[in-house]
């Protein structure tokens, strides 16, 4: 019994060490990005090479009611369900794939909807996205995507809705996830206006202050990418590497068999 207990203690020591290291790693990861953005309105477009897209829209109810005129109650104590979100978006002519469960942040209620867009050039047929005009041009050399975000819908209040504590630091974002290698993009940093770096190689973000978005300051988005998708290129590279490996293996087998036959003939002679 004593021996078993010792073994168990010794077995738990490395496990405990691994758990501690995992906690430290997670803490370091969370602290490594102290400037992670939280947006009042976040529109993420996952663009496909054929011109279709998926738009994941996450925003506070107050922002959607103020800027897009959606009939949702922005009061912090108001109850909003995912069914309410789906109903409102579908009434605006949007094809909703999924409506997430609402959540709270900074005393405000936030919602999210995942929208399917069959042709991104017609994305404005979804009323929630109708403040933008879209362009999608394909040539043998490149794909050119444009989006101009105009003024909010209806009469935008000069101040936050009752019970909403906007303090002027809130941001909105329009983020593009591109299917091909980006050759040009015009995103700029809010501070200083320097060119904004790509995220993970093919993600571009345009940011704006909520106050400017409420005032209707336009955002001009332009991106150019290669006409060949990253996935297709990756699969082609793997297929080429696999074919080359198989060819080398076949040549080695052929060379070994040929050499063995030559030795056999020499031995018989």
Tokens of 3: 């021996």
Residue 67 near residue 151 (C-beta atoms within 8 A): no
Give tens-digit pLDDT for 186-242: 999 998 899 999 999 999 999 999 999 999 999 999 999 999 854 444 444 444 454
With 0.85 as the threshold, say if the pTM is over it: no
**Higher model confidence: residue 26 or residue 245?**
245
Identify the CA nearest to 111 among candidates 54, 55, 60. 60
Report the alpha-carbon distance of residue 142 to residue 182 in Å, rounded.
10
C-alpha R_g of the chain:
28
Residue 259's pLDDT band (cuts 50, 70, 90)? confident
Residue 268 has pLDDT above 80, yes or no: no
Residue 4 has pLDDT above 90, yes or no: no
Q: Using the 8-state DSSP alphabet, how is residue 30 labeled? A: H
- Whole-number percent of the chain with pLDDT over 90: 63
Residue 132 has pLDDT above 70, yes or no: yes
- Chain center to CA of 64: 20
- Please report, for residues 58, 135, 169, 186, the alpha-carbon distance to residue 215 in angstroms, rounded to integers and kept in the order given: 20, 24, 15, 22
């Amino acid at each position: 019994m004593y021996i078993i207990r010792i073994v168990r203690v010794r077995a738990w020591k490395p496990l405990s060490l691994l758990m501690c290291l995992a906690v430290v790693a997670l803490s370091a990861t969370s602290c490594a990005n102290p400037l992670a953005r939280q947006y009042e309105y976040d529109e993420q477009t996952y663009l496909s090479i054929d011109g279709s897209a998926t738009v994941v829209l996450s925003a506070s109810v107050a922002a959607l009611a103020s800027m897009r005129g959606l009939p949702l109650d922005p009061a912090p104590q108001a109850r909003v369900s995912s069914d309410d979100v789906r109903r409102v978006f579908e009434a605006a002519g949007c094809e909703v794939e999924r409506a997430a469960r609402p959540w709270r942040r900074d005393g405000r209620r936030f919602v999210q909807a995942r929208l399917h867009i069959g042709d991104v050039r017609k994305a404005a047929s979804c009323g929630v996205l109708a403040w933008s005009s879209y362009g999608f041009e394909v040539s043998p050399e490149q794909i050119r995507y444009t989006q101009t975000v105009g003024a909010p819908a209806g009469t935008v209040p000069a101040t936050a809705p009752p019970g909403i504590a906007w303090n002027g630091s809130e941001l909105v974002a329009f983020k593009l996830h591109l299917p091909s290698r980006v050759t040009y993009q015009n995103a700029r940093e809010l501070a200083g206006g320097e060119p904004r770096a790509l995220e993970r190689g093919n993600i571009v973000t345009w940011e704006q202050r909520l106050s400017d978005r409420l005032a209707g300051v336009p955002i001009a988005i332009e991106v150019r990418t290669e006409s060949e998708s990253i996935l297709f290129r990756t699969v082609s590279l793997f297929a080429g590497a696999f074919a080359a490996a198989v060819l080398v293996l076949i040549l080695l087998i052929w060379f070994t068999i040929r050499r063995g036959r030559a030795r056999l003939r020499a031995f018989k002679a």
